[in-house]
Structure 1
Amino acid sequence: MTVIDRRRLLAAMPFVWAGAAMAAPRNLVDAPGFLASPFTLGVASGDPDAQGFVLWTRIAPEPLEPGGGMVAAPVLVRWEVAEDPRFRRIAQRGDTIAHPELAHSVHVEVAGLAPARPYWYRFLCGGHRSATGRAATLPLPGARLDRLSFVVAGCQHYEEGLYTAWRHIAAEPVDFVFHYGDYIYEGPDRGPHPRRIGGHVVTPIRRHIGGETYGIDQYRLRYAQYKSDPDLQAAHAAAPWFVSFDDHEVDNNWAGDRDQDGTPPALFLLRRAMAMQAYYEHMPLRARSMPVDGRMAMFRDARFGDLMHAFFLDTRQYRSDQAQGDGDLVQGPEVFSSDRTMLGQAQERWLFDGLARSEARWNLIAQQVRLMAMHYRLPGIAEPVASMDQWTGYMHSQRALLSHIAGHCPGNVMTVSGDAHRHYAGDLILDRGDGRVISSEYLATSITSGGDGVGDTDDFTRNVRRHTPAIKAMTDRRGYVLCKVSRDAFRGELKVLDTVASPGGVLSDYAVFVSERGRPGLIPA
């Protein structure tokens, strides 16, 4: 346990906390003494708007020890935001508190900055200075913006590969990163032995610490292990992020108040609440997303001038339980029932209203699971099957969304998603409609999950391409999607690595497509 100097306590001295005058707790440690840097988990910024952003760090001098090596007392942390990377022109500074109730994480909501420009930030605590991060404010809503770029990435199983993709992402000159989920995986350390994943054998590159995550301390340890990776830290420090959780931040394929094992909902909700608290503690999220009564407010939007209006969805908290017991199955009547939902009424109404009112050149739907209707054959089953965990298991919701896009904003909506551990690029066609293309989707492959993969020559890829003609590209390799948006074109670059099993993986373009505003559909570039 790191020794903290308690020689100076602030009884009730006011100080600035995230822009507001606050009274300090009586047990505040304002001058902690650390034997090593407490900023072992890096820094991050997120949820930017035209006036500011949220800054994150966690004070954890010994991140893999109980409590991160901290005593159970609040600690004073200073933050600085500058107009230049050498901090010669300080834009704002202040003090905040790292509370033990939140694992000594801090979430500073900076406001009052100039729009459409970069800023640099850092933290100071106990005589130590954090790494410097780069953030940026958004343009004012409605202001002319000619171009922007962003990365779509997620699914980063620690055991199944190195975070080489994050190192490449850190070097991309992007405006933001969208992390679609599966930031951690909840499973236990299964030892060094090879395992079969997706039809091929993967040898663990690294090992999880401990068993499956159920309690708050286990989730915190898992995040600390993942966030100790220097490549992931570099990507967080390079650009602001918009984050969403999917399933593995809690438990595989959870849906609303149900897990995949039949645990009584009241018990599963206890686990979900602890998982959500740990998620908030480790993400650059605003206070509006702090868990309350075991729930998180995660669906939100962002406006990038007049160029793009982005809608970040939550496809886990409000969905109905998977149809037909989950799995990849022939779509039965339950799949099409209007009683089942992917988004819940409130979120769906918010999304539909936002799309209908949007005046941006482009609209982006950023979410967790595949929207396009993908089918393939299984041996011994006459009809093609579809995933009950993706939108193909919630066809009433899928039809409603595509119908709304077709009726209110045709030709300027693009979707990005993840979860499937493969790159997919394809067009979105209304089920039982007239066959016309309504929109398109880029599904970003995993950062590591699935290991190196097998490319696009495997039987599963051929099977899917044969039964899903709307798919334009598909490969089982690791990487991310780089999106470049201009006033009349939306470009998607499917980036792949030749390996994540050893350092130095080489990055290349697997496929590149362009969509023209007003003409839905992917065009090879």
Structure 2
Amino acid sequence: MTLPPFGRRLFLLGASAATGVIATGIPRLSGTRDPFTLGVASGDPTSDGVVLWTRLAPDPLAADGSGGMPTRVVPVDWEVARDERFTRVEQRGTVDAAPEAAHTVHVETTGLAAGREYFYRFRANGAVSPAGRTRTAPPAGALGPALTTCVASCSNYPVGWFTAYRRLAEDEPDLVLHLGDYQYEYPTPEKSVRPVAGAETTGLAGYRQRYAQYKTDPDLQAAHAVAPWLVVWDDHETDDNWAGDVPEDGQTRGAFLARRAAASRAYYENMPLRRSAVPRGHDMQLYRRVQWGGLATFHMLDTRQYRDDQACGDGQRVDCAARLDPARSLPGAAQERWLADGFRRSRARWDVLGQQVFFAQRDTDPGAPARFSMDGWDGYAASRDRVTRSWVDAGVRNAVVLTGDVHTHWANEIKLDYRDPAAPVVGTELVSSSITSGGDGDAAVDHPDLHTNPHLRFRSNRRGYVRARYEPGQVTADFRVLDAVTTAGLPIRTAGSFVIPDREPGLDRI
């Protein structure tokens, strides 16, 4: 096993913790079950802090969703250090892990130095967690150093191995963006690589158990431990193709909103999110902005919770006049206004939209009248036009849209008028394939959509993630792929690479 420098450090720290002693000599109590089976995570960095997360679960697959924890509060110690051996501890403290929150911990640190790498860990019941690496954002206005991100989505546990998460960790990004479908609600399918516990998730216990099982995966744990994450959900964290208050499968509104409330609560519990995201019933505030100095502003969108009813059917590709209705909005009117205001205020070199569903127009039937997906921005064409126009009118220097959902890599150019081949390109979209969803895929790179939509520049039907390096003068995007996910441990490769030059929206193949 070959590990990169940080991978080797984490491996050694994990091994020392497993034997009962870490660098500072804190012993584990003999006979105590390990409460840190779900690893650690960090997220939503600022220039002086970050959210630190863990969840205590000595029995992760407990059917009641408790993780095998008692119904009492457990104190958890945490510490943040400048070095991976914790010889230079910067901050430490103690928080309570409560049963009503599934014994999760969200520590919002402040007072750290800007633009710096840190290491963190937890201790509870005499046990010590694995160490994680995190990073604070640069100071306001700073354009350097370069920022390396990885973009992931759609990790379906029974469909394949999470090798892509391991390879992502080995790339040692500074920041990870997860754009939804972190877990899937379904029970184990007939054909599966590995089973999930329990039936379809509909209640709080089931969602908690499902997140716990996902988080026992060592490859996912490595991806969380390597860098801070920015997360937003899509549909499967709750129910396939839900939109606003409308489920896909004809549940009553009351039953669905109860399910949404349970799913929202479990999502918050299991993600490194700030207190501003604590759910209020079935509502949860997920759209937010994260500044990375003067280099990038990340506008993290929620394209599920506020969208109008999909008038022509969930996920269907249809020729539907409703898609042009100016009253329809995918992110909702309030979120559209919030986004437009963010564009007007932005002074970043790169404005990045982290969101869920396909943004560029995609005419999917070359020999027939245009047919569009109603489960994406094509189903809300007027809303897409308003969002695109808002960054153009605001004079945004560079707009990059990041997308998940469709289980395939795409590289797209964004226009205000897709009907005019000569219309200028005003932005770029990088669509990440899935971690496992869709299975192994195939080697095909051609597709009819590439011929009928010249602004769609690249496609790959393998699983993986997008690695992007942001610099003042350009963004370089690498589409990373595995040849299979039904076989564990395969190497990663780059299927295609593009450069987006500063002030030149569009894609240059390299």
Distance 1:437 1:483 in 2: 20
> In the alignment, does 2:508 pair up with 1:523?
yes
Helix, strand or coil at the partner of 2:507: strand
| Matched residue type, 2:377 | W
Look up the match of 1:27.
none
| Matched residue type, 1:404 | S
Distance 1:317 1:136 in 2: 30
Q: Alpha-carbon deviations, 1:442-465, whole Å to 9, x = none?
A: 0000000011101225xxx52222
**Is the Cα contact below 8 Å between 1:33 and 1:126 reproduced in 2?**
no
Look up the match of 2:19.
none
Residue of 270, 287, 296 corresponding to 2:284? 296
Helix, strand or coil at the partner of 2:57: coil
Distance 1:419 1:358 in 2: 27
Look up the match of 2:408.
422
Deviation at 1:334, TM superposition (A): 0.8
Where do 1:378-389 residues align within 5 Å? 382-389=368-375
Distance 1:34 1:364 in 2: 48
Helix, strand or coil at the partner of 1:394: helix
Where do 1:148-159 residues align within 5 Å? 148-159=147-158
Look up the match of 2:56.
59
> In the alignment, does 2:394 pair up with 1:397?
no
Deviation at 1:519, TM superposition (A): 1.2
Where do 1:486-505 residues align within 5 Å? 486-505=471-490
Helix, strand or coil at the partner of 2:323: helix
> In the alignment, does 2:129 pair up with 1:141?
no
Helix, strand or coil at the partner of 1:519: coil
Q: Alpha-carbon deviations, 1:171-224, whole Å to 9, x = none?
A: 112110000010100011233x3xxxxxxxxxx111121211101000111111
Any gaps of 5 or more consecutive residues in structure 2?
1-27
- TM-score between both structures, scaled by the size of structure 1: 0.89
Deviation at 1:33, TM superposition (A): 9.1
Look up the match of 1:116.
115
Look up the match of 1:198.
none
Q: Alpha-carbon deviations, 1:417-466, whole Å to 9, x = none?
A: 10000001010112467522111100000000011101225xxx522222
**Is the Cα contact below 8 Å between 2:143 and 2:472 reproduced in 1?**
no
Look up the match of 2:335.
347
Q: 1:433 to 1:476 in 2, by over 3 A?
A: closer
Where do 1:317-336 residues align within 5 Å? 317-336=305-324
> In the alignment, does 2:185 pair up with 1:186?
yes
Distance 1:90 1:410 in 2: 40
**Is the Cα contact below 8 Å between 1:411 and 1:520 reproduced in 2?**
no
Distance 1:150 1:444 in 2: 12
Where do 1:469-488 residues align within 5 Å? 469-488=454-473
Helix, strand or coil at the partner of 2:67: helix
- TM-score between both structures, scaled by the size of structure 2: 0.91
**Is the Cα contact below 8 Å between 1:331 and 1:393 reproduced in 2?**
no
Look up the match of 2:38.
41
Distance 1:328 1:386 in 2: 8
**Is the Cα contact below 8 Å between 2:317 and 2:372 reproduced in 1?**
yes
> In the alignment, does 2:251 pair up with 1:263?
yes
Please give the root-mean-square deviation of Cα atoms over the aligned residues, in Å. 1.6
Any gaps of 5 or more consecutive residues in structure 1?
1-30, 194-203
**Is the Cα contact below 8 Å between 1:32 and 1:75 reproduced in 2?**
no
Distance 1:323 1:495 in 2: 36
Deviation at 1:333, TM superposition (A): 1.6
Q: Number of residue pairs matched?
A: 479
* Runs ≥4 residues deviating over 3 A: 31-34, 431-434
Distance 1:462 1:52 in 2: 44
Distance 2:245 2:159 in 1: 29
Q: 1:470 to 1:432 in 2, by over 3 A?
A: closer
Look up the match of 2:129.
130
Helix, strand or coil at the partner of 2:506: strand
Helix, strand or coil at the partner of 1:324: coil
Deviation at 1:327, TM superposition (A): 3.0
Deviation at 1:405, TM superposition (A): 2.2
| Matched residue type, 2:160 | G
Q: Alpha-carbon deviations, 1:330-351, whole Å to 9, x = none?
A: 3322111122111112211111
Look up the match of 2:448.
463
Q: 1:38 to 1:175 in 2, by over 3 A?
A: same
Look up the match of 1:375.
363
